[in-house]
Amino acid sequence: MKISALLTSAGINIGLCVLLLSLYSILRKQPGNVNVYFGRRLAQEHSRLRESFILERLVPSPSWIVKALQYKEEEILAIAGLDAVVFLRILVFSMRIFSIAAIVCIFGVLPLNYFGQEMHHGQIPSASLDVFTIGNVVERSKWLWVHCVALYIISCAACILLYLSGAKKACKKFGHLTDTVMDRRCRPAIYRCGLCGGSTTSFQLYQNEFEPNSEKTDRNNSNLIASEEECASAFVFFKTRYAAIVASQVLQTSNPMIWVTDLAPEPDDVYWSNLWLPYKQLWIRRIATLLASIVFMFLFLIPVTFVQGLSQLDQLQQRFPFLKGILKKTFVTQLVTGYLPSVILQLFLYTVPPMMMLFSALEGPMSHSLRKKSACLKVLYFTIWNVFFVNVLSGSVISQLNVISSPKEIPTQLARAVPRQATFFITYVLTSGWASLSSEVMQLFGLIWNFIRRYVLRIKKDPTASSVPSFPYHTEIPKVLLFGLLGFTCSILAPLILPFLLVYFFLGYVVYRNQIINVYCSRYETGGLMWPIVHNTTVFSLLLTQIIAVGVFGLKESPVSAIFTILLVIFTLLFNEYCRQRFHPLFKSYSAQDFIDKDREDEQSGRMEEIHQQLHSAYCQFSPHTGDRCHPETEGEGEEEGQCSTEVNDRNRSQDMKDGLSHPTLSGLPVAKLQRAVKSLSLIIALQNKSSTNV
């Protein structure tokens, strides 16, 4: 590929992006599309766009970009939660690190690559792109140390940005701002103090601990319950956040599989149908879905190979002679070879995130956010494998496995393959990256569906709030991280990718801010749990870059640079180990000190009472605005419990049984075991009685 061809391609893509974004700036002003482009604001702020003049509505304007950039981080936190902030922080991190990398590599490395060999340089536009890669540097060049220094600068900058800004800030936010969000949303922060456990055996245990006066009273009761079989799960509420965190972190019984405790997710976040799953199944499910995902990852190579076969029409014609007549027409041939393969591939690619979401649901997570996080990880592995490694190793499954099975060869193999594929990655950023942002902002599916709804099906009613989509972190985070990986690995090998990548990240920052503010609703959140994924992937990308660099320096016979790069690998590993020691526990659990401070604050301000009262109605499987099944907050406490037990008996006879129970503490009981549980129901309610007074 020549540089002129690249510039042409870039020009076309830039034109396309400008066109689509202008189109968007017009479409968003049409009142008919308001629920496509302002779903969140319609649902949460109940705001209406003012009716403007017809002319203004038809003129494209960049005002939406200004509006998107105007919002402060605190406002976004209040609107869309911590996850959105973390996601935008990934983009900020990428913009920063790749700005540094671009400056270092364009001015330091690129000229070295270009003048790396004694050769006649024609005009730049007609030069091959390969001239700009490290492949053009002669072996044993004395200038390779510049590449090494550039790698050091990039790695150090990445580590510093990950640590001195990324992790620390994320942790701080994680610690303090979650509370702020909760307060602003008027969600009582004690929601998280609910406890989601493996069985009901040790209810009494907590009571004795935190209410010393009632010691021993329920000993017999609990033994009765213990004699029942495993009862999937139950919620337990505590007086203070600290008590909840203690109960969730301490090993309960001498058989760790009988009684597993965990902090409950936020009420909207609970994955009710998974709560029935007995704990003993979970580890099998986890292993099974892991295997299934790996198989799926490799099976995906089949359509890829099939699609690649489509472009070789000769073979197709030989196999299916009847196609000859059709394929003689130029138009059909162009369609089949040029367009069809990418469409088919894209269609197959669209199946990946739902498939991974399905796998993650089967895994049995107890909250939607955990499910999304798990799916995010799976999509990430899939993307990195199928876009980066499959293209780099470009061969059959067997040859790929061969590379994996001889680890010593990996650096050399990658060092040979990555610069060769750099051109492809640049065009990938141009087409897939920029195009995905444009289609994201255009919301093509939503737009078409809205059109059909309005003008074909003629549905007049506005869609409900629940139809507003939530932000697809599990597809967008892997996308951004993949481009980061491409940027790191290509940075010193083929620095030409960096300007295009920077454009992607800047554009992405504007687009995603706009989407988060206007389009997507955040019903639940992981609480910043995506950050460790980002951190680990970035460190992985850095290590991969360094390993490839070791291979390249080896091929170029520059042992000094290779040794220095190996040192850099060791430093990066040490950095990662330090971060793991320093930050990992925080993402796994909460610190007692923060919880105690918060408890004390609420106790002094008198908010604790209020929180306790709200807690009773919080964990309800059928939320008031969907099922209208239970409104315990309007009823007295005694009534509520009485009502619940009768309700359970009614349900036993009804068809609705499989949907579960409406009472918070009972919702976790597996319906299949309900008959058995009903026998000891009064006991559980008695216990619940105790724990309510306890709360």
**Binding region for a second copy (CB under 8 A):** 171, 175, 202, 205, 208-209, 242, 245-246, 249-257, 283, 287, 402, 405-408, 574, 577-578, 581-586, 589-594, 596
526 neighbors 370 (Cβ within 8 angstroms): yes
Task: Name the minimum Å distance from CB 263 to a second copy.
Answer: 12
Q: Which lies closer to a second copy via its Cβ, residue 57 or residue 169?
A: 169
CA angle centred on 434, ends 431 and 440, rounded to 5° = 120
Q: How far is the CB of 284 from a second copy (least distance, A)?
A: 8
Cβ proximity to a second copy: between 37 and 206 the closer is 206
| CB of 427 vs a second copy, minimal distance in Å | 35
Name which of 18 and 404 has its Cβ closer to a second copy.
404
Strands in 235-236's sheet, in edge-to-edge order, are 235-236, 195-197, 261-263
Assign 347 to helix, strand or coil.
helix
Nearest distance from C-beta of residue 594 to a second copy, angstroms:
6
Q: Shortest gap between Cβ of 254 and a second copy (angstroms)?
A: 5
CA distances from 250 to 103, 234, 247, 264, 283 (A): 50, 17, 6, 15, 20
Helix axes 434-442, 444-451, angle to 10 degrees: 30
| Beta carbon nearer to a second copy, 462 or 577 | 577
- State the nearest-atom distance from the C-beta of 121 to a second copy, in Å: 41
291 vs 448 by CB, closer to a second copy: 291
DSSP one-letter string for 243-267:
HHHHHHHS--SSSTTT--EEEPPPG
Nearer to a second copy, 559 or 627 (CB): 559
Helix, strand, coil percentages in the chain from 3-state DSSP, rounded to 5? 75, 0, 25
Least distance CB 222 / a second copy (angstroms): 11
The DSSP H or E segment spanning 235 is strand 235-236
Q: In Å, how far from its chain's centre is CA 693?
A: 40
483/436 Cα distance (integer angstroms) = 12
Q: Which two tokens stand for residue 89?
A: 């922080």
What value, to the nearest 5°, has the Cα angle with vertex 618 and ends 617 and 624? 75
* C-beta closer to a second copy: residue 455 or 578: 578
CB of residue 261 to a second copy, shortest distance in Å: 10
Taking Cα atoms as reference points, which of 201, 182, 200 lies closest to residue 190?
A: 182
Least distance in Å: CB of 282 to a second copy?
9
What is the CA angle 184-74-613, rounded to 5? 15
Considering the complex, state which of residue 283 and residue 350 has its C-beta at the smaller distance from a second copy. Answer: 283
